[in-house]
Amino acid sequence: MTKYLLRLYITGNSIRSQRAIANLFRICREELSDQYKVEIIDVLEQPHLAEAEKILVTPTLIKQLPPPLQRLIGDLSNKDKVLLGLDMILKDKKKIKEP
Amino acid sequence: MNQYQDYELECIEKLETWIPGFDFLSEGGLPKGRATLVAGTAGSSKTVFACQFLTEGIKRGENGVFVTFEEPPKAIRRNMGGFGWNIKKWEEERKWAFVDASPQPGDQPMVSGDYDLGALIARIEFAIRKYKAKRVSMDSLGAIFSHLEDSAQVRSDLFRLASALREMEVTTIMTAERTQEYGDISRYGVEEFVADNVVILRNVLSDEKRRRTIEILKYRGTDHQKGEYPFTIIPKKGVVIIPLSAIELEQKSSNIRITSGSNELDRMCGGGFFRDSIILVSGATGTGKTLMVTEFMAGGVENGERCLIFAFEESREQLFRNAIGWGVDFKQMEKDGKLKVVCRYPETTGLENHLINMKEMIEEFKPNRVAVDSLSALERVSNLKGFREFIIGLTSFIKQQEIGGLFTSTTPTLLGGSSITEAHISTITDSIILLRYVEMYGEMRRGITVLKMRGSMHDKDIREFSIDAKGMHIAKPFRNVTGILAGNPMYNAQNEVERLSGLFDQEI
């Protein structure tokens, strides 16, 4: 089951895009175990999707699910901020309690 | 670099904007395929200018993309409706596309790491390709700097965007805020990296009145008119620039004489006014300026000409009643379609708008004669500079239309004197007629003289005239009075006059 639906908007094959993808997958693996689905959208190939979401900068990460919708910009190199932006801090704490 | 050299060697083509007056100012329009920065303070109508650039293009078959960083598209559609621009309809017809980069409601997105404006650039490129746009407006750049913290990144991205637009060969207008009317070109120094060309819109407060001007500051590699030009915003039209000092002295002039409406005055002028001339009638209040206008009109109508009066001092009823008092029936003339009387209170709108309204009226009615009564009334609704520009604009327009114009101007003092109006207009006018009070033995009499008449001999006397139910009657010259024009008449004894006359052996 996928609990998190994340969309990452990037521009082509740039270093910044690569870095954002790598950072996102690393954070997801570390924090969300299997409960996530990531869609990567290249705005150079699908500019109409960027238009529809009114994406201004890349990389932009949108947390589609669970609500509320959250937007995060940057190459996701600051993990704490990513977690804060995606409201994952709570889960993080739970995780610590669990064992 | 070879490529760069080739690029520079090519002559810069210009794209006609069709914004009234701008193509004249810019000597052909905006440099084609380049970006032009339009900078201005708040309320200097940057957005209107940016929209109009697209709408004028769309009206002539060039599609446009509007990138908005500030107002949401919904607000722009509504705000521009007042100019008669149906953006919604154009969007449906796929002629106008919005790229909405305005701030979205809700929280600012959180930032984690570096980012760039790649998505925006991709969206703009996509819209341009999809709509085959030739014109792009971006309004306004400063707003992105306030959305995004990393200004260094934004700068380099805007630079990238500008070069991408150049590559796509679209002509672009980018707007940017200014903080002062006279100071830095724009906030954040946008001009340094985006544009080869800079146009500045100003909205200056002077003498408690707003005055809009436009100036082309920089036009890399191509010519343009220099300095500030007034412009105005008109409902249903948008920005209208009034190119003043650029008006060339090209008017034709003819030797055809037209009657002033008074035989005696025609005689003083050596046979009447020239057809394409501007005549200034100057006099104190009550000297008979409006009478001269009335006779000028009546003379025209009698010859089957079309006449137009702009009255800024009196109402229609007053004018009509006065004309009847001098034996001229304006009402009948209007009924016959030979005359049009336009009465406006000067304070109703700014001088620029008056000028444009008057031009429209002249174009519509196509008169042979135009009278303005009086210019001095218009003086009070503007500052000096604006007033001078108005007069230059009006006179040159009238001359280009090859019609005769008669303006009146009120002098501030009863005896002698001159007015600001005269100081500004005297070199522009072809003829000047002075009406003056002459105080003689406890009585006010009226004097008339033709001070100047270009290209013609004229009477140099100061003649006495009287007004009765049939109009103006010009009589003999004042022979025993001197100093009328200076405002302090002196009487010479009769024998002194005779002695002087004898000296020169002249017939009176």
pLDDT in tens, B83-130: 999 999 999 999 999 999 888 776 677 888 888 888 999 999 999 999
Q: What letters, b where the CB count within 10 A reaches 16 and e where it falls short, cover B292-301? A: bbbbbbbbbb
Q: How far is B42 from chain A (nearest CA, A)?
A: 24
A54 touches chain B (CB under 8 A): yes
Mean of pLDDT over chain B: 85
Tens of pLDDT, residues B398-443: 888 878 899 998 887 776 666 656 666 777 788 889 888 888 777 8
Q: Which residues of B are catalytic?
A: 70, 313
In chain B, % of residues over pLDDT 90? 31
Comparing B358 with B389, the larger pLDDT belongs to B358
How buried is residue A1: exposed, middle or buried, by Cβ count under 10 Å (0-12/13-18/19+)?
exposed
What residue of B is the nearest CA neighbor of A59?
B115
Lowest-pLDDT choice from A83-92, B262-271, B300-309, B394-403: A83-92
How do the domains of chain A map onto residue ranges?
Answer: 4-85
Tens of pLDDT, residues B148-198: 888 888 888 888 888 899 899 999 999 998 888 887 777 777 777 777 889
CB pairs under 8 A between A and B: 99
Cα-based distances in Å from B84 to B19, B90, B97, B227: 15, 12, 18, 30
What value, to the nearest 5°, has the Cα angle with vertex B314 and ends B313 and B318? Answer: 165
Please list, in sequence order, all residues whose beta carbon lies within 8 angstroms of the beta carbon of residue B220, skipping any fewer than 6 positions away.
B31, B196, B197
A46 touches chain B (CB under 8 A): no
Please list, in sequence order, all residues whose beta carbon lies within 8 angstroms of the beta carbon of residue B93, skipping any fewer than 6 positions away.
none
ipTM: 0.87
**B36, B190 in Cβ contact below 8 A?**
no
Q: With CB atoms and an 8 Å threshold, state whether B115 touches A16.
A: yes
Q: How far is B136 from chain A (nearest CA, A)?
A: 17
Q: What letters, b where the CB count within 10 A reaches 16 and e where it falls short, cover B215-224? A: bbeebeebeb
Strand partners, B371: B309, B406
- Do B257-478 and B3-246 have the same topology in CATH? yes
Q: With CB atoms and an 8 Å threshold, state whether B125 touches A75.
A: no
**B462, B450 in Cβ contact below 8 A?**
no
**A89-97 helix and A15-32 helix, angle to the nearest 10 degrees:** 40
What residue of B is the nearest CA neighbor of A55?
B119
The two most distant CA atoms of chain B are separated, in Å, by: 105
Tens of pLDDT, residues B29-76: 899 888 899 999 988 899 999 999 999 999 999 999 999 998 999 999
Superfamily of structural domain B257-478: P-loop containing nucleotide triphosphate hydrolases (3.40.50.300)
Tokens of residue B39, six digits = 């900078």
**B466, B446 in Cβ contact below 8 A?**
yes
Q: How far is A66 from chain B (nearest CA, A)?
A: 17
Q: Does domain A4-85 have CATH number 3.40.50.720?
A: no
Q: What letters, b where the CB count within 10 A reaches 16 and e where it falls short, cover B482-508? A: eebbebebeeeeeeeeeeeeeeeeeee
Tens of pLDDT, residues B317-354: 999 999 999 989 999 999 999 999 999 888 888 888 89
B74 touches chain A (CB under 8 A): no
* pLDDT for the residue numbered B340: 93
DSSP B177-209: E-SSSSS-SSGGGTHHHH-SEEEEEEEEEETTE
Q: Which residues of B touch A55 (CB under 8 A)?
A: 119-120, 123
Statement: residue A93 has pLDDT above 70:
no
Tokens of residue A19, six digits = 């870095």
A6 touches chain B (CB under 8 A): no
C-alpha closest to that of B323 among B287, B283, B296, B361: B296
Q: Closest partner residue to B113 among A10, A44, A78, by Cβ? A: A78
In chain B, % of residues over pLDDT 70? 90
Fold of B3-246: Rossmann fold (3.40.50)
The CA distance from A13 to A45, in Å, is 11
What value, to the nearest 5°, has the Cα angle with vertex A46 and ends A26 and B34? Answer: 115
What are the φ and ψ backbone dihedral angles of B43, each rounded to 5 degrees?
Answer: 80, 15
Q: With CB atoms and an 8 Å threshold, state whether B111 touches A81.
A: yes
Q: How far is A37 from chain B (nearest CA, A)?
A: 20
Q: Which residues of A touch B112 (CB under 8 A)?
A: 72-79, 81-82, 85
The CA distance from A25 to A39, in Å, is 11
How do the domains of chain B map onto residue ranges?
Answer: 3-246, 257-478
Q: With CB atoms and an 8 Å threshold, state whether B119 touches A20.
A: no
Mutate to test the interface with A, among B69, B112, B150 (most CBs of A within 10 A): B112
Phi-psi region for residue B38, left (φ > 0), alpha (ψ -120 to 50) or beta? beta
Q: What is the dihedral of CA B326, B331, B336, B338, to 10 degrees?
A: 60
- Sequence length of chain B is 508
